[in-house]
Chain A
């Protein structure tokens, strides 16, 4: 570990020197690096898909949709938007301060740390990287050891495409993370669980390092069958995709559980079953379209969630587990107890609890009783319900009538609140995430007001009071001696 510590310190020194040299401030340099990320992904599509298949059993189409395609778009958007994002924002100043000028410029924090996750090891590494570089920082990326092939790809290939003195990759697990967290960074960006998020923030506190924590939670999906009956087929498809279509439910914005009125529950289940079959065939394990569970430990974790006898009793579909093959069958539960473990921690797997309520309005109470999630999904056309959801619940985001797709929407900030996280990114928000908004005010030496300076007297006091109220007319009267204090 001593050797690792030295490597980290050496890397930090080099990155700091590079930052101090000013090289990363050039927009040209930044765009070139981001272009290189695009090229790296494009040139190595097959290698990346292979790595993702080895780590997670991800199908290449899923890999492209969720990771490669996403990064390529993100890179293009950053290159196209950078000039605008980096431009100073001019502020209007009150007349009193004329002819002073004010503006805000975005400046890089310096040397930043990105800690990525295993479920989308390419996009959750490269997307924050794009943001950090766009903002002009030097950056160290630590990829997750739980996705070793993707991690190895990044460690090997990033140095071949990007400026190695400014952008570095380190592989490893918690022991490497610990060493990294002992260092001083100008910003830390973390994607992972709330439990580790707390550790990251506590470590950051030692150095007053600002953090962005993209965490998780239980993303509920409300199905208001009264108003979406006409489009129920679409609804079912989207829920199926939202639970099992992306890394087998191991996604921070996956559908965690569904809430539906008791009267519709069995109809919904009867539609979900064939839907799952249409996606993954009779034998999902062999379909090639369902991702694996990342490790045996996680399979065991999911098995434990199902082991609770009350939860076992609620299984209406699926339930089989093959630890060797890292497989958990797409599983549906009907009304597992609300106090069971599976209803109190983020499932992060292919198990879908369906929770019934008498009246769909009651779904709001259930959501509020839990920590704020990263996303809330609601299939409804009822404007009243939509308003209630928006105003009575809190979450990173809310998506009506679809799932997960808010991730693709560049114009929307992506981040959590409360237990689901701090800060946000995507699109320009990524740029802002890694920037310090520095206010710059320029005054004029020409116009000087006596009233600003001691010794104080009543005239000066009146003057300043009126100036603050921007009561310019009265100010003039005061100066002309036409009104007294």
Chain B
């Protein structure tokens, strides 16, 4: 185990100074530098996947398939997309000009913000660290990554791999906990990208406010799943299970948090869930190797408390087994816990799934709307009208109909929250944009000056201005020719 380097206020300040010097020297601006860094990341994935998988197993007990798919493959795709599109993304956008400013031409130029800070989370330590870094580098920034200390093996591996492969004059990792994070937050950054809880999101934004630093906050919330009786139940249930327990055992920001369905349909739903859960994880889910464990004893205790609350503990209809030593809780389903219980008030982030029943499906939309806006909202149905109503009236970061979480993998859709679930978005070109300043550039000609612009002001000038405002070319000519 390497000895931890001292990282105090001086080191934090020096780090930013150094990266700012690199940025000012133009190290990160060129296309070649960005491409080189991105290609090195590909090498990391090609050569170090087993180590990544091992670190994730250490930190989270994550099954190899999840690590390989959700952390490595997604990242590999993200880098490849950036490499393919970077020239396109970096090119200026031409803008259309109106008559008032003619003759002129205009464009929007993407430029890097400067020196940026990425603070990552513990549940997908590689994905949530490297994906934003890909955006930062593509956009030409110098970047500091602070991985989560709750996933120490992943944090150490990230530090090692970055040091080994990426340009240290512009890309660095700082390991540590709240102490180091606070020191970093005291510095002036040109952008801060944070993935984590709403509570800490507030702290980040308040710190950013001191320097007028723009932020992207990828937070969480209680992502609801509405299940209509008019659906393919087996497929629905399998997707919910895969999206819940198959994604870091419910410890994911877009995890199905709770289900809403009609009183009538709930028994059938629960039966099918029990049936499919057994097929996925066997009769003894505590022994299954296909689920991550709970990250640590703090979270284990937090989740246990949720289950132990009065009027909640007697609503368990499946599962409920716990093993604190192994940090395991079996897939657990609850039926109709009180809406004001603790488990229905905070993001669960674990393998527990409450099912709330309503009299008719539209009521479920009201339940969702009465709560903070989640990162994702899901609906399973064949009913076209219901799909439309859901999409139009439920506010969430993103809406997915008839599937769970896959929108994460789609680089053509912006991924981010709204309200309590966050601000800003990324993935694909949205990542590039998140770390860019879109600078408006207007090229004017020195020829042809309209005296109407300048004092001394007169009635004639006012008339002409009014004509220009309506951009009616005939009126303009009339005034210019003195015919008005």
Q: Which residues of B contact A437 (CB under 8 A)?
A: 414, 425
- CB atoms of B246 and A443 under 8 A apart: no
In the complex where A61-B457, A241-B454 touch, is A439 in contact with B415 (Cβ < 8 A)? yes
B70-112 contacts to A, CB under 8 A, are 73-74, 76-77, 95-98, 100-101, 104, 106, 108-109, 111
Residues from chain A with Cβ under 8 Å of B98 in the complex? 408-411
**A443 engages B401 (CB within 8 Å):** yes
On whether the beta carbons of A194 and B403 are closer than 8 Å, the reply is: no
Interface residues of chain A: helix, strand, loop or mixed (majority):
mixed
A61-B457, A194-B212, A445-B231 known; A234 and B446 CB under 8 Å?
Answer: yes
A340 to B98, CA, bound (A): 41
Residues in A219-257 with C-beta less than 8 Å from chain B: 228, 230-231, 234-235, 237-238, 240-241, 245
CB distance B446 to A401 under 8 Å?
Answer: yes
Which residues of the other chain, A, contact B454 by a CB distance below 8 angstroms?
237, 240-241, 245, 279
**A472 close to B (CB within 8 Å):** no
* Cβ distance B356 to chain A, nearest Cβ, rounded Å: 21
Closest CB of chain B to A387's CB: distance in Å?
Answer: 11
Residue-wise, chain B 457-484 has the 8 Å CB interface mask toward A (1 for contact) of: 1100110011011110000000000000
Give A213 to B456 CA distance when docked, in angstroms.
34
CA distance A59 to B175 in the complex (A): 60
Interface residue? B131 (CB, 8 A):
no
Q: Is the CB of A204 within 8 A of B100?
A: no
* Chain A residues within 8 Å of B471, by CB: 73
> A417 near B437 (CB under 8 angstroms)?
yes
How many residues belonging to A are interface residues under a CB distance threshold of 8 Å?
A: 107
Q: Would you call A405 an interface residue if the criterion is a C-beta within 8 Å of the partner chain's C-beta atoms?
A: yes
| Residue on B nearest A371 in the bound complex, by CB | B212
Q: Chain B's nearest CB lies how many Å from the CB of A224?
A: 12
Give the contact stretch, choosing among A89-97, A158-166, A342-350.
A89-97
Question: Which of A69, A241, A406 lies in contact with B465, CB distance below 8 A?
Answer: A69
Contact of A208 with B290 in the complex, beta carbons under 8 Å = no
B71 to chain A minimum Cβ distance, whole angstroms, is 12
B222 located at the interface, meaning its Cβ lies under 8 Å from any Cβ of chain A in the complex: no
Q: Is B348 an interface residue (CB 8 A)?
A: no
**Which residue of the partner chain A has the closest CB to B421?**
A208
Provide the residues of chain B in CB contact with A396, threshold 8 Å. Answer: 439-440
> What is the CA–CA distance of A104 and B407 in the complex, to the nearest angstrom?
12
Contact B402 A442 (CB under 8 A): yes
- A454 within 8 Å of B (CB atoms): yes
Question: Is B441's CB under 8 angstroms from A289's CB?
Answer: no
- Contact check, B202 vs A61: say whether CB atoms are below 8 A apart: no
* B442 near A204: Cβ-Cβ < 8 Å: no
Q: Smallest CB–CB gap between B192 and chain A, Å?
A: 12
Which listed residue, B106, B113, B413, B415, touches A411 by the CB 8 Å rule?
B106
> Is there contact, CB below 8 Å, between A453 and B410?
no
A453 touches B419 (CB 8 A): no
Interchain CB contact under 8 A, A409 and B396: no
**Structural contact, A109 and B439, CB atoms closer than 8 A:** no
Q: Does A384 contact B (CB under 8 A)?
A: no
Contact between chains at A464 and B65 (CB < 8 Å): yes
Whether B403 pairs with A441 at a CB distance below 8 angstroms is: yes
Contact sample, A vs B, 16 pairs, CB 8 Å cutoff: A61-B465, A70-B469, A202-B210, A205-B206, A231-B447, A235-B446, A401-B445, A402-B104, A412-B440, A438-B391, A440-B400, A441-B403, A443-B400, A454-B245, A455-B280, A456-B290
On B, residues with C-beta under 8 Å from A are: 24, 29, 63-65, 68-69, 73-74, 76-77, 95-98, 100-101, 104, 106, 108-109, 111, 113-114, 190, 198, 201-202, 205-206, 208-210, 212, 214, 217, 219, 231-232, 235-236, 238-239, 241-242, 245-246, 280-282, 288, 290-291, 369, 380, 382, 387, 391-393, 395-403, 406-407, 409-410, 412-415, 418-420, 422-423, 425, 437-447, 449, 453-458, 461-462, 465-466, 468-471
The 4 A-B pairs of least Cβ separation, nearest first, read A443-B403, A61-B457, A201-B209, A205-B205
